[in-house]
Structure 1
Amino acid sequence: MHYDLIVVGGGIVGLGHAWAAAKQGQTVAVFDNNPRAEGASIRNFGMIWPVGQPAGTQRALALRSRTLWRELGAAAGFPVHECGSLHLAHHDDELAVLQEFAPSTAADGLDIELVTPRQIADLTPAANQAGLKGGLYSHTELRVTPPTAVSSISAYLADAHNVKFHFDSPIIKVDSGEVTSSHGQTWTAERIVIATGAYFQHLFPEAHQAERLLICKLQMMLTEAQPAGWNLGPHIASGLTLRHYPSFRDCPSLAAVKQRFAEDSPQLDRYGIHVMASQADNGGLILGDSHEYGDDIEPTDKAEIDALMLEELQKIMNVPNWNITRRWHGLYAKHPTQMCFVCEVRPEVLVVNGFGGNGMTLSLAFSESIIHRWRNSAQWEVLHGTN
């Protein structure tokens, strides 16, 4: 069968392209190696996180994605919680970073405010008030449950937009206008998007390698359900997180935060640990995470990493139930210098990859821009952003 668009990869990046094209009335097919999406798109916090994106193109895309998530949740029937986020400062240098960051966001759409320990107590029961200096509350962030959201989006696209899903169908060859599966079947399309995330070894590996993509492994955990009526409220992040997201990179006090952690807790830098928490729909808390790259990645998880994360989380949070019911890891592909990359590997065949941990936050708006520019024959170079 012939389609306007074929998408290889059933994660959130692939689904974003499928949705954007289907909304324009295009015929679309999505192919995935597995019986369902099983990669990074279902192994994350479910955070849509504009506050972590640097000002400019990335933050604008994050805010547009926020709008699209709300639209898609309403259409596909899955919850999109407008929970916001809360960065906690338990040290003076962390509070200084938040105070430096807050004025810089006034003109670009983030709805944030500095909050006192007393105000934090009203926002969440989880914050450890001992030594708490203050925090930064953002009204902007959203929460979805990744497996529910991804499966609901697929079902909605199939039912409402007649998108054809071919699961358990590894694509082993792609030419202009044509894809071939491991079963020997061939499909044709006007245009093709390759969005295979960390699993890019089998389709145009040379294009990915030329971009020097990094594979990142992260470890995460889920607690048992918290007591009935206990709600985390906003996503929670600690001072460690200020080291991770590029939105804080220009704050003068960030250097002091980085130096303190490097001197006091070098193992946190070794494993790329910064701690965050989000509440799952079952009442448990999703906790994480860590970042190991390249040759440091092992097939088994490290108990030391989980212990370090729990130790840091218990410094900043008071939670009724810390019992862990699930542990897992995810893999994603990260571009070393850009927010992602787009490469036309054949005429009318695009590889889109390298979002790192920002796929949930950026991909819906970025996919929309790809489909719009493709329709209007724009040059791909203008889509490259930098961190």
Structure 2
Amino acid sequence: MPTQQVDTAVVGGGIVGLAHALAAARRGDRVVLFERDDYAVGASIRNFGLVWPVGQQPGAVYRRALRAREIWLEVAASTDLWAPRTGSLHLAHVADEQAVLEEFLATVPAAVEQGCRMVSAEEAARLSPAVRSEGLLSALWSPTELNVDPRRAIPTVARLLAEQYGVDVRFGTTVRGLDLPTIDTTAGTWRAERVFVCSGNDFETLYPEAFAETGLTRCKLQMLRTAAQPGGWQLGATLCGGLTLLHYAAFKHCASLGALLERAQEELPFCRENGIHVLLSQTADGALTIGDSHEYARTHHPFERESVNRAIMDYLVSFAQAPDLRIAERWTGVYPSLPGGATELVVRPQPGVTVVNGLGGAGMTLSFGLAEEVVSGTYVRP
């Protein structure tokens, strides 16, 4: 088989790899993308499908998320990608939750510039019929969140790369080794000027030494999904409750978070022990996606715990309602996660090779923006 030549090769067909292939193709590179599975089956399709700028740490990461949102909308405009601008509501049923939301708005002017604001219980109910209004004090409305249904979005981006940008998308192809400019694959030998290794949860096969001292570990999560809601019922804004304020970096600086954390540890110890916070989103076909939990280790057992699923559902119904919450699907996901609040790992183990990994649970939210920075050479670690 003759050696094939490209400018850029990407290893990994999840959202991080797809984003780097798109960024390279948009600048005019000849690009090949290798993915060892026949189609995407990892964390990139086992998530809410939410583009979630509101949860990202203020500053450069928040700006990156907003840029990624723009690119998602550009992709949607040139494909049949389902990408409603649902926005989000953080619901405050307790005074300490409301205090965190108010402090967030007072200290993050960039979010206010994007349209984030406090709304009354009545307005929140108008933005989503799923809002449980009993005892609701107020809510934070953010208009920046998108819903891109990952099981549809990931294949759509792959098709876009192949059909509109001429990317050679090679699913079912394993990269066995790199010795630039040579790439050894199960589809023959290739030559490339540069390679982006975006291998996600598999960070031992290629350049394991690049990960050895990073503290990178794996986060296992549990998620659930209902069947399509009856009568075409629509969720509207994506919903979350007070536990979400303890999960996302956007709120970490808030002094008022301490009171919420203390109460959550007292009243919801099981949720805290299992990293549970709860989002409610909707898929393109009308099903509701619910989750999730967070368990950190290098290696995870493959089993779900029904006690975790019950805790997720119990917390959900404390702030949300829907016509039919019977569960049709349950699954686990695993993604690589960095310690200390780091938002990504970008390292260059040898000339021409860049490893990009460790976006945690924010792959759908940050990948397009991060890839644009990395490929253009403008990336600066936040």
The interval holding the TM-score normalised by the smaller chain is: over 0.9
Offset at residue 319 of structure 1 (A): 1.3
The correspondence for 1:24, drawn from 24, 27, 32, is 27
Offset at residue 317 of structure 1 (A): 0.9
The correspondence for 1:364, drawn from 347, 362, 368, is 368
Report 1:1-387 matches (<5 A): 1-107=4-110, 109-181=113-185, 183=186, 185-294=188-297, 297-337=300-340, 338-373=342-377, 383-385=380-382
AA in 2 matched with 1:39: G
Q: Give the secondary structure class of the aligned counterpart of 1:39.
A: coil
AA in 1 matched with 2:234: N
Contact 1:342 1:383 (C-alpha < 8 Å) held by counterparts: no
Q: Give the secondary structure class of the aligned counterpart of 1:228.
A: helix
AA in 1 matched with 2:129: P
Offset at residue 221 of structure 1 (A): 0.7
Contact 1:222 1:286 (C-alpha < 8 Å) held by counterparts: yes
Question: What TM-score comes out, normalization by structure 2 length?
Answer: 0.96
AA in 2 matched with 1:68: I
CA distance in structure 1 between the aligned counterparts of 2:380 and 2:349, rounded to whole angstroms: 16
CA distance in structure 1 between the aligned counterparts of 2:66 and 2:110, rounded to whole angstroms: 13
Offset at residue 284 of structure 1 (A): 1.1
CA distance in structure 2 between the aligned counterparts of 1:347 and 1:125, rounded to whole angstroms: 54
Per-residue CA shift, 1:127-180, capped at 9, x if unaligned? 111211111000111110112111011111111111011111111211222221
AA in 2 matched with 1:251: C
CA root-mean-square deviation: 1.3
AA in 1 matched with 2:5: H
Question: What TM-score comes out, normalization by structure 1 length?
Answer: 0.95
AA in 2 matched with 1:154: A
Contact 1:172 1:180 (C-alpha < 8 Å) held by counterparts: yes
Offset at residue 282 of structure 1 (A): 1.2
Offset at residue 320 of structure 1 (A): 1.1
AA in 2 matched with 1:344: R
CA distance in structure 2 between the aligned counterparts of 1:184 and 1:149, rounded to whole angstroms: 26
Structure 2, unaligned runs of 5 or more: none
CA distance in structure 2 between the aligned counterparts of 1:302 and 1:201, rounded to whole angstroms: 27
Q: Percent identity?
A: 40
Q: How many residues align?
A: 377
CA distance in structure 1 between the aligned counterparts of 2:179 and 2:269, rounded to whole angstroms: 48
Offset at residue 281 of structure 1 (A): 1.1
CA distance in structure 1 between the aligned counterparts of 2:11 and 2:79, rounded to whole angstroms: 21
Offset at residue 295 of structure 1 (A): 5.6
Runs of 4+ in 1 over 3 A off after TM superposition: none
Contact 2:50 2:364 (C-alpha < 8 Å) held by counterparts: yes
Offset at residue 226 of structure 1 (A): 1.2
Per-residue CA shift, 1:268-292, capped at 9, x if unaligned? 1111000010011111100000100
Structure 1, unaligned runs of 5 or more: none
TM-aligned CA distance change 1:224 to 1:185, over 3 Å: same
CA distance in structure 1 between the aligned counterparts of 2:333 and 2:110, rounded to whole angstroms: 35
Per-residue CA shift, 1:202-256, capped at 9, x if unaligned? 1111211221102001111111111224211011011000000010111121111
AA in 2 matched with 1:106: P
Per-residue CA shift, 1:96-148, capped at 9, x if unaligned? 11111112233354321101111111111111112111110001111101121
Contact 2:125 2:131 (C-alpha < 8 Å) held by counterparts: yes
CA distance in structure 1 between the aligned counterparts of 2:191 and 2:115, rounded to whole angstroms: 45
Offset at residue 185 of structure 1 (A): 2.2
Contact 2:218 2:299 (C-alpha < 8 Å) held by counterparts: no
